[in-house]
Chain A
Amino acid sequence: MQKSLLLGVEAIAQGAIDAGMSGVYAYPGTPSTEIAEYIQHSKLANERKIHSEWSANEKTAMETALGMSYAGKRTMVCMKHVGLNVAADCFMNAAITGSNGGMIVTIADDPSMHSSQNEQDSRVYAKFAMIPILEPSNQQEAYDMTRFGFELSEAFGTPVMMRITTRLAHSRAGVTPVTDIVAENEMSLPKDKQQFILLPGIARQRYKLLLSNQEKFEAASAESPYNQYTEGSDKSLGVIACGLGYNYLMENYPNGDCPFPVLKVSQYPLPRKMIQKITSECDKVLVLEEGYPVVEEMLKGYLENEAVIGRLDGTLSRDGELTPDMVAVALGFEVEEGMAIPDLVSARPPALCVGCSHHDVYKALNEVIAEYGEGRVFSDIGCYTLGALPPYRAINACVDMGASITMAKGAADAGLIPSVAMIGDSTFTHSGMTGLLDAVNENSPITVIISDNESISMTGGQKSSAKGKLEDICAGLGVHPDHIHVFTSLPKKHEEVKDIIRKECDYQGVSVIIPRRICVQKNVRDQKIKKALKAKAAAKA
């Protein structure tokens, strides 16, 4: 079979299509975005009419996927790690309801925070929910484990987490696909008609079932082809290598001649007997895991067993992603670094694109805010967060999706008037609307700027749920029409825009300002697609 060159995320997407999945639900977020995108562009997925439209946020995505599972079909929900915070209500309870059709929750963590505000480890969530985790170590495993995950989910009637991190998500390798593509499930209702009703009386029973399933999950881990014990002659050290940690271990033994016993873990809950074997036969155990010291902490325990080493005792860095060099040092190898970076090399942080509409907004906003005094602009998650960097240094907060509006309200409640929220179009429909309703209900003196570039731009210009709806949503939530301003954002309107912002900052109630102009990157892509379609049509004619 011909190999395909796939990113880790694409391998998961292809794996899901080939495993008979009927729908993927997702909200874009680096490094998870390309899973749903790949399915949107897949020929087979389109022929099969596999659902792949974007959801408004991760919570709606998770709930919709659970609904598809209820109806008996295989489904996947994808998001970045912090998206799981948004979807956590459904996620935790889906562990109690269980699934009907196979359900995989694919979470892409971002250790080292390449494109994120924290590096939380989603394995903690899966442990919290008490469901199995699959953690592939390479692209082929990512592909294979997707099918395996659907089977596991259906065998035990539980959602399964597929946990990946940035390096696997965005690294390409050859993947050999299967030849026997699975047909989609027929629709079928759950056998137990009360399974999904979490009234306390039923929930208690479902929870007991989840508890009793733990043993089965552990037995599955013990038999899993993805958890492997390799014997070693030198028992002064044993290595437990989780997910990508295995690659960095083996990178240091290019001829495959690691002298130590190695337990490769790619399925959780941990395979207890294998863990007992390695800890009992080795003097010390080094735990290599990408993200938090989850396994290490379990083994080390509160009493700090000194035989367990890793991120907690400083053998490896406590934070940031693993690297082959870091693991080499932990194994006692010397790392011969190349030359130092010369002093003249400057940092090159990301910046707003040339011609981006957020420039115009920040120029005007900065001049008006200077009249009131600094420290009153609450921003949000998106390209406009780059307004924190020079030359603008325009914002004072960026915490989570939608927090701009509610933090501005809280600050206004405390007396910081005016308080300004700076949020993007898609972030607003993701999690800003409910906060705006809070502000409307109390007529809080805040000015909300929804800088509308008509796309989800930071992640590559995906379709925004907000498109064409913003002013209606704001009016519908009760913002007075006199205090909703919509205009095309252009440099020549600088003074006019300043007047609007100033007027609304002085207004003692909720106002919404919507500067609108399509993302410059999205515009270029749209024009290219248009041109290609035109050429195609011309060729046909």
Chain B
Amino acid sequence: MKTDMVIAGVGGQGILSIAAALGSAALDNNLYMKQAETHGMSQRGGDVQSFMRISDKPIYSDLIPKGGADIILSVEPMEALRYLPYLKKGGYVVANSSPFINITDYPDEAELVKTIEALPNYVLIDADEIAKEVTGSTRAFNFVMLGAASPFIDVPFEYLEEGIRKIFGRKGEDVVKMNIDALHAGRKFSQDNK
């Protein structure tokens, strides 16, 4: 059992809550995990990534080797492509289709979609829209994304639900339910569209 995943986005988009739920799930089930994240200057609207590694054997490197990632999960379409050198042959790109445009030379969106659709294995999902549909707000879009990536993560799906319960438990049952609903909706989309 081993999954290496690059989680990508833009500073401020909150990719770390995805990593936190996964990490907590892994640890509670006696799996090994390492998760390297970006702090500091890049958090001011720059590109950020987290390297998430889960395994049933000890993990050495905090960084994922190039060509070693099973999944690139990106909460932003262009950022998904930045980490392609890390993707394993046969690995999946799971990307949110809603762009985050804070630079003047952001690529043409149609071209961007075309580039992602030319990848061998991808799921392109409008996580903001699905979150809104299912939960009434875009807040849980991160967990729609985690749900969409879940079929490719070598960790039992119940573990992910447990992880969400653990990190949002303090905020009440409503918040837990919202995020678990988002997780299920993302997973369903992915299973129907991969």
Contact = CB atoms under 8 A, between A and B. Distances in A.
A341 B65 contact: no
Interface residues of A, number: 51
A335 interface: yes
Contacts of A386: 44
Interface string A469-500: 00000000000000000000000000000000
B38 A350 contact: no
B103 A247 contact: no
B40 A114 contact: yes
Interface string B92-116: 0000000000111111100110010
B87 A339 contact: yes
A173 B78 CA distance: 29
Given A248-B61, A338-B84, A351 B102 contact: yes
The secondary-structure label for the interface of chain A is loop
A193 interface: no
Which size bracket describes the interface of B in this complex? Answer: 35 or more
Contacts of A168: 62
Interface in B33-56: 33-47, 51
B34 to A, nearest CB: 5
B34 A338 contact: no
Contact of A115 (B41, B47, B87): B41
Contact of B37 (A172, A338, A345): A172
B62 A247 contact: yes
A3 to B, nearest CB: 6
A172 B34 contact: yes
A236 B78 CA distance: 45
A339 B63 CA distance: 18
A348 B102 contact: yes
B104 to A, nearest CB: 8
A504 B75 CA distance: 47
B46 A348 contact: yes
B107 A338 contact: no
B67 A459 contact: no
A301 interface: no
A383 B88 CA distance: 36
A344 B115 contact: yes
B103 A348 contact: yes
A247 B63 CA distance: 10
Given A349-B46, A386-B44, A458-B41, A167 B36 contact: yes
A5 interface: yes
B87 A346 contact: no
A325 B23 CA distance: 24
B14 interface: no
A386 B69 CA distance: 32
Contact of A346 (B32, B43, B66, B107): B107
Interface centre among B39, B45, B47 (most CB of A within 10 A): B39
A171 B43 contact: no
Given A348-B103, A350-B46, A341 B85 contact: yes
Contacts of B65: 251, 323-325, 328, 335
Given A171-B34, A336-B67, A339-B85, A250 B41 contact: no
A34 B40 CA distance: 11
Contacts of B135: none
Given A172-B23, A324-B63, A339-B85, A458 B103 contact: no
Contacts of B119: 339
A5 B27 contact: yes
B19 to A, nearest CB: 8
A342 B108 CA distance: 13
Given A167-B63, A346-B78, A173 B33 contact: yes
Contacts of A335: 65-67
Nearest to A457: B44
Interface centre among A30, A114, A249, A350 (most CB of B within 10 A): A350
A383 B44 contact: yes
Interface in B60-84: 60-69, 78-79, 81-82, 84
B10 interface: yes
A140 to B, nearest CB: 10
A115 to B, nearest CB: 3
A246 B58 CA distance: 14
Interface centre among A173, A328, A386 (most CB of B within 10 A): A173
Interface string A92-124: 000000000000000000000011000000000
Contact of B66 (A5, A337, A383, A459): A337
B62 A3 contact: no
Contacts of B91: 338
Contacts of A390: 104
A459 B41 CA distance: 8
Contacts of B78: 344-346, 348
A349 B10 CA distance: 10
Contacts of A348: 10, 45-47, 78-79, 102-103
A517 interface: no
Contacts of B79: 348
A340 interface: yes
Contacts of B87: 338-339
B189 interface: no
B89 interface: yes
Interface centre among B37, B38, B40, B68 (most CB of A within 10 A): B40
A173 B35 CA distance: 7
Contacts of B103: 346-349
A362 to B, nearest CB: 15
Given A3-B27, A337-B67, A114 B38 contact: yes
A486 B87 CA distance: 53
20 contacts: A114-B42, A167-B62, A174-B27, A174-B32, A247-B62, A248-B63, A328-B65, A335-B67, A336-B89, A338-B87, A339-B85, A339-B87, A342-B81, A342-B115, A346-B103, A348-B45, A348-B102, A350-B41, A350-B42, A458-B44
Interface of A: 3, 5, 30-31, 33-34, 114-115, 167-168, 170-174, 244, 246-251, 254, 323-325, 328, 335-342, 344-353, 383, 386, 390, 458-460
Interface of B: 10-11, 19, 23-24, 27, 32-47, 51, 57, 59-69, 78-79, 81-82, 84-89, 91, 102-108, 111-112, 115, 119
Given A247-B60, A348-B78, 16 more contacts: A114-B38, A170-B37, A170-B39, A172-B37, A324-B64, A338-B91, A339-B84, A341-B84, A344-B81, A345-B107, A346-B106, A348-B45, A349-B46, A350-B43, A383-B44, A459-B40
User: A-B pairs with the 9 shortest C-beta distances?
Assistant: A115-B40, A30-B40, A350-B46, A338-B87, A171-B62, A251-B61, A171-B36, A350-B44, A344-B107
